Amino acid sequence: MHNHCEHPYTNDSVRALQWTGTGLRVLDQRQLPSSVAYDDYDSASGVAEAIRSMRVRGAPAIGIAAAYGVVLAAKQRHYQSPNHWKESINQDIDLLAASRPTAVNLFWALDKMRQAIASIGDDPSPLLTLALAIHEDDIAANRRMGGLGAELLEGSTGVLTHCNTGSLATGGYGTALGVIRSAYSHGLRNIYACETRPWLQGARLTAWELDQDHIPAKLIADSAAAWLMQTGAVQWVIVGADHIAANGDAANKIGTYSHAVNARFHGVKFMVVAPTSTIDWNTNSGKAIQIEERERKELLSEYYHREDSVIDAWNPVFDVTPACLIDAIVTEKGVVLNPDADKMQRLNG
């Protein structure tokens, strides 16, 4: 659907989600970088499983995939019952909603699809038009955020990012990594990426994506970040978000909060980059954000899976960075400096 030659933006060749005309093609991110494998899905249950199993990951990408999942559900339900498909599709939407709990974009996209279902007749084809628009709008929003964020970096020589926030996590171009792409095109050269334990989204995904697009970067262990800041090599930490509360508190991949604490101590600035679809206006603060915990096996080696082992694991996959540690939230509608509830409300137009 997209390739490197189709648009004037350089260093942006990766697309993890592709609509084939009959289904959704998904790059299986669990196999990167050793294997580049795509899976095709033709049902909502398949898309939900792709999200749950982390073949699809990154809040914007999860929302886009879910929108296509509704399209596939409508196609199937309409084929089975042309006049009553709207009644039965709710269970497909509920299945998609249950696939990951923290990503606000998932529920935002499903709400948009629900509203569309309510407003159209028995022909489900307008749903594909909407899903394609959600996908394209995400890429356009990312490019806008890339430009806005890069402006804040003027005069900086180095940045650190956490997790993967690029084309693999979005419709394309990326949120935090989109800012880094834009800054790279304007001359920024010192780019550091954290490994991002335990799924290694930085080591496996961000490094792979930057390598595909010929953007040089250095990989560091998560635990090396504070020492990196102490050396003066970076002036900004730039991250994405899966859930932003109305007051600017931001939930992101586990480890983000400690980067924010370390950044504040070392005089390094902290930027969150996310579309307004990531903001949950019904959640007043980060204290109310549901933090997903994944299974202990992701952390524990097989040796500790035996029944007589006394070793357990705690595996939260997100943490919440309070707004008071965030210097800028960059959205497609503009930048909020030193966010609080009042400043955030200006985006809610």
Q: Which residues does the annotation mark as catalytic?
A: 242
CA distances for 188 relative to 160, 169, 182, 215, angstroms: 12, 22, 9, 10
* Dihedrals phi, psi of 141, to nearest 5 degrees: -65, -40
Q: Are 345 and 331 in contact (CB under 8 A)?
A: no
Q: Which is nearest to 90 in space by CA: 110, 65, 75, 60?
A: 110
Strand extents, DSSP E, the chain: 17-19, 24-27, 38-41, 158-161, 190-194, 218-220, 236-239, 243-245, 250-253, 269-273, 279-280, 318-321, 328-331, 334-337
Residue type (1 letter), 304: Y
Helix, strand, coil percentages (3-state) for the chain, rounded to 5, are 45, 15, 40
Separation between Cα atoms, residue 347 and residue 199, nearest integer Å: 33
Q: Judging by beta carbons within 10 Å of its beta carbon (0-12, 13-18, 19+), is residue 159 exposed, middle or buried?
A: buried
